[in-house]
Structure 1
Amino acid sequence: MNVPLFDLKSQYPAIGDEIRHAVGRVFDSQQFVLGAEVHALQEEIARYCQTKFAVGCASGSDALLLALMSCGIGESDEVITTPFTFFATAAAVARLGARPVFVDIDERSFNMDHEHVEAAISQRTKAIIAVHLYGQCVDMNPLVEIAAKYGIPIIEDAAQALGAEDRRRRAGSIGTVGCLSFYPSKNLGGVGDGGMLITSDADHAKRLRMLRVHGEGKKYHHDLLGINSRLDELQAAVLRVKLPHLEDWTRARERKAQRYELLFTNDGLREHLRTPYSRSDGRHVFHLFVIRVSANRRDALREHLGAHGVGNGVYYPVPQHLQKCFAYLGYQTGSLPVAESAAAETVALPIYPELTDAQQDYVVSTVAEFFR
């Protein structure tokens, strides 16, 4: 049996007719950039995410860059964030001439450990980026308190966490600005790159709308130095078809995660691996199902899974503070030990709404076979 890590083909048949109709609607309109589809999607995403405003852009990476620009981040500023995330988070900071300041992560959730944040604040600290990794929110209350104490905005990187909740608050709605990605493999994925910024701050919303179109206040009048980062109509049309299905898909992911927990327990695998931790006061949407094994066995397990047709991945093998391009920051191996251990010990297993019981059984039996 072959079980892919992601399987977009299994999602398409149920919504294919709707998608083709939506795409046809865009071609009939011959309006391809920032038109009616984008406007409608922005309203729908804002409503879903419990914010007042949403601003479409070209990618999740651009959403991070635009959020930092809207917060006025620039040369010599410092931005506190996690080292255990996709490269785009820290890269957006560095691209503006600012300095990423990494703090270690919580061992259970793999998210930023708020207990390290206040000690990292300096006179140059201008923002905190909280990354909601794998589909689970950072514990936001302590971060909100710290940010309020020092007058620092929080940018939420919710690229992997659309629909996740922290104490009934949706990911991206808690800080100053939230950033979303619609990359095809995300829980709500388009047919290419796409992103969105969400906020309840009218000033930020206005500024973000300008920044995504070269800083235009009105056509050919540039009040700000912005970039070209617009969500196109085709992406918006497809996402509007998919959004009404998102809650059902998320509940299916939750059921798959619960079934993995039961199967791993029944197969006596708890002594060999650790399954994802889910906060009791939040909602985990399981963008990824990441298990943890000892570092000296992780790569061998991956090789075994691959040899038996089980898709798997490592998110992420090199923490950001040890990336070659960030050597100038001065971090060394051992600087952030919890993140470094996670990078060496974690592996993602297949999880998506269409994953069958038979496929899950095969994944778990293949893992069990490795540890026997």
Structure 2
Amino acid sequence: MTLFSTAQSWAFFDPYQVYRPQRFDLAVDTQFYKTTANFDSGGEKVDLPFENSFQIIDVNPQLRWAMFRDFGVRIGGNVGSAESVDPINTRNNSTFNRIDVGADYQLLNYETFQTIVDFEYSLPVEKFDTATDSSLSGNGATEIKPTLLMRMDLGSFYPYAYVGGNFRSEGLSTLLTYGLGGEFRFSELGLGAVVEGFSSVKDDQYTNSATRRDAITTRVNGGSKKFYSINPNSLAAEVFLNFAMTEWIKFKAYGGTDVTGSNTSQGFFVGAALNFTLDYGNGNNQDSIEEQREVRRSQRAKKVKTKSSNNGFQESTEDGVDQNYFKSVDPNNGDYVQPVEQQQQQQPAPSAGRPQNGTSSSVTGSDSGTQSDLDQLGYQIKLKKLKKKKKKNQ
């Protein structure tokens, strides 16, 4: 599993999600983000005043359950530990700040292309307090995030793209989210990169009085616009490494930076994630798209075979080859099996001491189960006679 983790504090979203019933994935993502600058309204990078800084560590556990073949649900949350530094104070704030619930549905599933619809609802644990004196660890807003994901399987390369929205409460602007990424896989290792961002498509309710929000971030976050900013826009780049430690445990390390934006922070982020898989369905836990690709190929082969049979295909039987070799075996044929009653009439009863002709009169091992099934139909396995080897004269 690959976790979708960025500097924007989105919750759990996996572009390489596996769809197999009764599969559970427990993922724990930990990310560190630090900033000493902002992008202003014109897109210029501006350092925070007085060498101020802001940083936050987010721990985001999520549990996903694949309920059905193409449908999964998940639940999780986020713990944020924020710290802001200015010439007067160093403010710290650690809190469980968000609960996330989500669902994803595989809308289209072809051999090399899949389309997934994802929906997530994030509920803040605490409402935002404008009189707070603690550093901010989130926006304090309810968020509704629908996303459409398109991914491809090109052998060892797995590109994907997505587009979505983020509808936020508390008067914050509505965001258009988007991303483009891919991963090269080499056995247990995967190397990839992604570029992703968001743009405000509906204005903040305080667009014409931005100082109402800026005054709060200046006071408690050292001036950083990481959270609670007016009409933010951002584009970030990330590189990552995936490593399959075992069939059930996968590890991810990643890092990136904010490339451009406006009315938002400019910083860098690093993180790591662990994914634990429990699979109560059929099959093992290895890989994701690779194993699903085999299923799709098998289904495609069946469709081709069915289509061929419907086109009036007939085998050629006039090629001079004896067709008796290809006929199905007749269970009533005496050379194969014989009815129990008929065989008992043809063969004399063996003596109590030793079976006749050196043939064992009992069936052992796996043959006994087969014989039991055949007995119910009135048949028994005809055993081959064993010839004794003559000993060579010494």
TM-score by length of 2: 0.28
Q: Which structure's relative contact order is higher, taking Cα pairs within 8 Å and 6+ residues apart?
A: 1
TM-score by length of 1: 0.29
Rg larger in 1 or in 2? 2
Between Structure 1 and Structure 2, which shows a larger proportion of helix residues?
1
